[in-house]
Amino acid sequence: MKVVIIRHAEVDLCWNRQSTSEVFDADCRRYDSASIKELMYKIPLIEYQRIYISELSRSRDTAKRLFPDQEYIVSELINEVPLRSSFDTKKKVPLWFWNSSGRLQWFINSSRQFEGHKETVERARQFVTMICNENKDSAVVTHGFFMHTLLRELKKAGFKTDKSSAEYKNGEYVIAERSGEN
């Protein structure tokens, strides 16, 4: 069984480099509904029996360009980990700080974030269980931060991956394969 995990195409949005908490939260919402830029990459030629996408438009729009004549299975289990400001302030704070502090809060399961690390791991486990039960070669169009958790859970389920990275670029993919399953 092969599963190709694909990070969505680049989003056509310029983030504010410094922002208040309110503006950062608005930018996060804008990012979730923004269009994608033109795709400039290819994926492995495999007969995909299932194509999974998240509920977010950038995942769907990427899939439409990569697999224009296919049907997709939409799953909230592979949505990106939601992000919001780590505290309320009217002062402008650098973008890198908002991203880092929000993800740190996610990791420690802070109630300030919409979802904590534990919930993300559980979503990924549920998704891996589902695709293992279906046992079909699949493509999964998902999101960069979530990919790390998903790949860890695939490895725990006996999958081997062809690469790992600290950061998956837009359009990058990872092949996860479990032998003896097809």
* Other beta carbons within 10 Å of 30: 14
Q: Which domains does the chain have, with CATH numbers?
A: 2-177 (3.40.50)
Instruction: Specify the pTM.
Output: 0.92
Side-by-side strand order, sheet with 160-161 = 73-74, 50-53, 138-142, 2-7, 173-177, 160-161
Determine the residue type at 113. Q
Query: What residues contact 130, with CB distance under 8 A and at least 6 apart?
Result: 75, 77
* pLDDT at residue 163, rounded to an integer: 83
Query: In whole angstroms, what is the distance from residue 133 CA to residue 166 CA?
Result: 29
Task: Report CA-CA distances (Å) from 36 to 28, 32, 68, 117, 171.
Answer: 15, 11, 15, 27, 11
Q: 123-136 burial, b for 16+ CB within 10 Å, e for fewer?
A: bbbebbeebbeeee
Q: For 133-174, write each residue's pLDDT tens digit.
A: 999 999 999 999 999 999 999 999 999 998 877 788 998 999
Place of tokens 């990569």: 66
Place of tokens 């402008």: 92
* pLDDT at residue 181, rounded to an integer: 46
Query: In whole angstroms, what is the distance from residue 22 CA to residue 16 CA?
Result: 12
Residue 96 exposed, middle or buried by CB count within 10 Å (0-12, 13-18, 19+): exposed
Q: For 21-60, write each residue's pLDDT tens digit.
A: 999 999 999 999 999 998 777 888 888 999 999 999 999 9
